[in-house]
A and B are shown apart, each in its own frame.
Chain A
Amino acid sequence: MNLTLKIWRQKDAKSPGKMVTYPISNIEGHMSFLEMMDILNDELIEKGEEPVAFDHDCREGICGMCSMYINGEAHGPDRRVTTCQLHMRMFKDGETIHIEPFRANSFPVVKDLMVDRGAFDRIQQAGGYISVNTSGNTQDANSLPIPKADADLAMDAATCIGCGACVATCKNSSAMLFVSAKVSQYALLPQGQVEAKDRVINMVNQMDIEGFGNCTNTGACEVECPKGISLDNIARMNRELIKAKA
């Protein structure tokens, strides 16, 4: 496959960036998108140019680092995959591929395609945990029965990898899907009840402080989320907030 890449290049957080065109050839359909980026970078290094900076770590869809907005969609045209899991067979020979960083004021660009998602960490720190002393008094898991349906929903919510595709996709740069997944994960389980009120209030407050937009229920996040996090989590978070404030 021969492709034309149009990639956002930005020297650092302060410099303005621009789209730069790079032709690339001999790309195989079985390659992942990041392998294709590696090949491009090898070529750039050989030519003595600056390689394209992008985040990645696990390359198997679990770390959530590989933030790229590919051809107008977060993580590209495939569904339920991260950029590292996106195969080049999703593209046609001769195609032009636009590659941009995830964009939101709350996710400032660090360099090229790398963005700072520290806002998500700060939201987690505001309440995405349970305070249990686990040293020495670990309880048998089966002594706390949890309905299967609840356990399943909590597990589904817990699959959120914090990639930020929901924010990148949302026309309002809203972080509601992410925050609601984190709130739901605990709200559904008995262990999460002790801090339930503080958790939802503090996490939502932090989300607002970080400057994410308001949810308008377009549902774009749910479609683009690589883990299929459901909009039901947002409804649950809204219920939790009403309960906590009432």
Chain B
Amino acid sequence: MSKSKFTTIGRKILMALSGFFLMFFLLQHLTINMLSVVSPDMFNEVSQFMGTNPVVQFALQPVLIFAVFFHFIMGIVLELQNRSARSVKYAYSKPGTNSSWISRNMIVTGLVVLAFLGLHFYDFWVHEMTVKYAGGDMTGLINPNDPNSGYRYYEELVMKFEDPIRVIIYIISFVLLALHLMHGFQSSFQSVGVSKGKNFIKKFGNAFAIVVPLGFIFIAIYHHLQH
């Protein structure tokens, strides 16, 4: 089966490393988004920095894009391999007696998150790229010809959350991300061979998996209700 130079365990470790990177990215993303609640000015400043800093744009951003693609493509490949390892299925099986639904359905929660990422890319990222690199407007201003018009990021963010449908899609996606991480967080430690402090990792992982997505949900609802 394994024709690639990575063993099944090697691929699994790469899966965990991309997972770690994405979780770290998520935390960083949440921190910046939280600024939009605390101080719109600060949010604008940081957004302009992240959006124009060459290290962020041309070093970190490609790594992130690579990690996302790697993670979901590898996730789908592993899932297909695993399904094909048992051609004749059990006539009667009770998987619920020995494992959790979330651990068995990473592909389901993952694909929902992927669908959300598609929408998210369209909403924010494609827009940013169009304005900045196709349109050549690096000013980050509401009106690029008026230096006093202020930065556009906060305005744009708030506008996105006016639509209740978008807020609901947002909430559903982040609930599924929470489920993905409730298994994924502790699973990635197991994958890279950490078994000391397993109980702590599980508890901390559950906290992370709930608090981080809840933070994003809070921001979406906050801006929706504010405006």
Assess A232 versus B81: contact at CB under 8 Å? Given A100-B92, A217-B183.
no
For chain B, residues 91 to 145, give those with C-beta under 8 angstroms from any C-beta of chain A: 91-95, 97-100, 103-104, 106
> Within the complex, which residue of B86, B95, B106, B183 is in contact with A105, where a contact is CB–CB below 8 Å?
B86
What residues on B are CB-neighbors of A77 within 8 Å?
A: 97
Cβ-defined contact, B92 with A218, below 8 A: no
A27 within 8 A of B: no
Interface of A is mostly: mixed
B90 within 8 A of A: yes
Closest A residue to B88 using CB positions: A103
For chain B, residues 170 to 206, give those with C-beta under 8 angstroms from any C-beta of chain A: 183, 186-187, 190-195, 198
Interface residues on B, range: 35 or more
Cβ-defined contact, A204 with B9, below 8 A: yes
B1 within 8 A of A: yes
For chain A, residues 1 to 48, give those with C-beta under 8 angstroms from any C-beta of chain B: 6, 8, 19
Cβ-defined contact, B193 with A211, below 8 A: no
What is the minimal beta-carbon distance from A129 to any residue of chain B, in angstroms?
Answer: 20
Cβ-defined contact, A173 with B103, below 8 A: no
Cβ-defined contact, B103 with A237, below 8 A: no
Cβ-defined contact, A208 with B8, below 8 A: yes
> Within the complex, which residue of A171, A214, A232, A245 is in contact with B95, where a contact is CB–CB below 8 Å?
A171
Assess A218 versus B81: contact at CB under 8 Å? Given A100-B90, A208-B7, A211-B1.
no
A219 to B193 CA separation, bound complex (whole angstroms): 15
A240 to B95 CA separation, bound complex (whole angstroms): 30
Cβ-defined contact, A216 with B9, below 8 A: no
What residues on A are CB-neighbors of B223 within 8 Å?
A: none
Cβ-defined contact, A241 with B9, below 8 A: yes
Cβ-defined contact, A235 with B7, below 8 A: no
For chain A, residues 139 to 167, give those with C-beta under 8 angstroms from any C-beta of chain B: none
What residues on A are CB-neighbors of B89 within 8 Å?
A: 103
Cβ-defined contact, B13 with A8, below 8 A: no
Cβ-defined contact, B99 with A173, below 8 A: no
* Known A100-B91, A210-B1, A212-B8; further 11 A-B contacts with Cβ < 8 A: A103-B89, A103-B90, A169-B98, A204-B8, A219-B98, A220-B95, A223-B99, A238-B192, A238-B193, A241-B7, A241-B10
Interface on B for A, CB 8 Å cutoff?
1-2, 7-13, 78, 81-82, 84-95, 97-100, 103-104, 106, 183, 186-187, 190-195, 198
